Amino acid sequence: MFPSRFFRNFGVAGRGTVVFSLSFLFILALLCAPGPREQAAWAAQGKPDKRAKPKPKAKAKPLTVEQLAELNGVALFGVPLKLNKGRFTVIYPGAGEFDKGFVSRSFGRGRVFSKIADVKNVSHRKLLIDGHSKGKATLVGFLAGSTLSRFDLVDDYKISFRMRIPKLGAGGRFAFLLNHQGGSFVQTNFFQDIIIAATKTKVRTKDKRFASPAYRWFDKGPQGMPVVIVCKGGKLSISIGVLNGKKEEMIEVVATEVMEPPPGKIGFNFQGFSFLISSLRIDGKFPRAWCEKEMAVLRKAGKLVTKMPEKKAPLPPLKGPAKKGPDLSKPDPEAEDEL
């Protein structure tokens, strides 16, 4: 009886069972379906993460010859180097820097002091250094000696300094050398003349005030005399400063045309007197060829600086309320009382 009843009611029972099964599956599907967050996570898993791989850093540009020269200025010139539009500037104070940029020699008891503190003799200091207030001391030349720069100058430069000579007699000798290269050089003796070795020419000053020996006109006061030597545009000129009342007037003593002298060193030699040079400054066209040659030597020795210094982070602002100034929009009661 049971089996026949079951089959007889199969359509009704089966339809209900199917409906129940579909409803159960639908509810189960809703429960198992991922939410928005899970869908986003799955979608993200399917896509490559662009931030996962860092972008390669751009290669730093190689430093120029000028930048390398500035970084290695002390090794090349003895002092920091300043460059601007193809021209360089070096200034020598009196703490031993002169010997780093020049090679000095002494004769007999003579000597060149590039470190002013080394002048221990009280009488020498009083005679040469004390009382000199115009310019910072660079070197002291004592009795006899010579010096020559380690670097070259090209045909466009300006050399300026102040020279103090407390005692100068007829036997004193001083020659300033320019563009010195072997047997080729330009020379001036006490800034009165210009001698060009290559052409064997000599030009003397036409100014009668400076035509006589230097011991007759050189200012022996504590401030000495300023000297400026300029080579530019095919002309070499030498000027000195002369007091005109309380003001110093620069006067061109001697000048001549020069046919682009070759690059060379500068320096001087002296005998028979002592002197002080202060505020030595050299401006000129950047000696690129010489710098490249010297930096190659530094590179080979592993002493060439090739990295720019890192920039320091700016200091954080000070904490606390900003200080307020006086309120100028309101009248000052004390000022009103005075009126």
Alpha-carbon distances, residue 101 vs 72, 119, 160 (angstroms): 13, 20, 16
How far apart CA 277 and CA 159 sit, in angstroms, is 12
Q: Does residue 47 belong to any structural domain of this protein? A: no
- State the pLDDT at residue 339: 40
Average pLDDT over residues 197-226: 92
**Radius of gyration (C-alpha) of the chain in whole angstroms:** 42
Cα 301–chain centre separation? 23
**Ramachandran bin of 245, using left for φ above 0, alpha for ψ from -120 to 50, beta for the remaining angles:** left
**Lowest-pLDDT choice from 40-49, 104-113, 174-183, 242-251:** 40-49
User: Do 233 and 140 sit in the same domain of this protein?
Assistant: yes
- State the pLDDT at residue 216: 94
- pLDDT band at residue 183 under the 50/70/90 scheme: confident
Q: Does residue 337 belong to any structural domain of this protein? A: no
Round the average pLDDT of the chain to a whole number and report it: 83
- pLDDT band at residue 52 under the 50/70/90 scheme: low
Asked if 180 and 265 count as a contact pair (C-beta separation under 8 A), the reply is yes
User: Do 280 and 158 sit in the same domain of this protein?
Assistant: yes
- pLDDT band at residue 135 under the 50/70/90 scheme: confident
Q: Does residue 153 belong to any structural domain of this protein? A: yes
Q: Does residue 105 belong to any structural domain of this protein? A: yes
Query: Which is more confidently placed, 162 or 314?
Result: 162
pTM equals: 0.74
User: Do 265 and 121 sit in the same domain of this protein?
Assistant: yes
Q: Does residue 4 belong to any structural domain of this protein? A: no
Is the pLDDT at 192 greater than 80, yes or no? yes
Q: Does residue 250 belong to any structural domain of this protein? A: yes
User: Do 162 and 68 sit in the same domain of this protein?
Assistant: no
- pLDDT band at residue 322 under the 50/70/90 scheme: low
- State the pLDDT at residue 10: 44
Is the pLDDT at 36 greater than 80, yes or no? no
Asked if 232 and 248 count as a contact pair (C-beta separation under 8 A), the reply is no
Tokens of 194: 């210009």
User: Do 74 and 154 sit in the same domain of this protein?
Assistant: no
Is the pLDDT at 42 greater than 60, yes or no? no
For 20-101, strand residue ranges (E) read 82-84, 87-92
User: Do 77 and 140 sit in the same domain of this protein?
Assistant: no
- State the pLDDT at residue 258: 87
- State the pLDDT at residue 148: 96
Report the number of distinct structural domains present in the chain: 2
Name, in order, each residue with C-beta under 8 angstroms of 195's C-beta and a sequence gap of 6 or more.
186, 187, 188, 189, 201, 202, 203
Range of the domain at 290: 60-86+286-307
- pLDDT band at residue 7 under the 50/70/90 scheme: very low
User: Do 161 and 263 sit in the same domain of this protein?
Assistant: yes
